[in-house]
Amino acid sequence: IFSRISNLVTVRSDVFTAYILVRIGTDGPQKRVIAILDRSDVYSGKDKVRLVALHYVPDPR
């Protein structure tokens, strides 16, 4: 199976998903966000990562 899909997938990717949790204090309010980031046009320290998508995740409580 791997030999058939090895040319379709790679571990070298410039697109990442970040799951971000921000909490104020120990028991304070919190916000969850999923962000998709694309760094395919980043070649130097001056270039910026592109934010592809940002989705707020509802509180599970």
| pLDDT of res. 33 | 94
| pLDDT of res. 37 | 92
Query: Band of the pLDDT at 59, cuts 50, 70, 90?
Result: confident
39-47 CB contacts, 8 Å cutoff, 24+ apart: 39/14, 39/15, 40/14, 40/15, 42/14
pTM given for the model? 0.66
List C-alpha distances in Å: 42 to 45, 50, 51, 54, 59.
Answer: 8, 9, 12, 20, 33
- Alpha-carbon torsion 25, 31, 36, 42, what sign? negative
Query: Band of the pLDDT at 28, cuts 50, 70, 90?
Result: confident
pLDDT for 13-25, tens place per residue?
A: 788 899 999 888 8
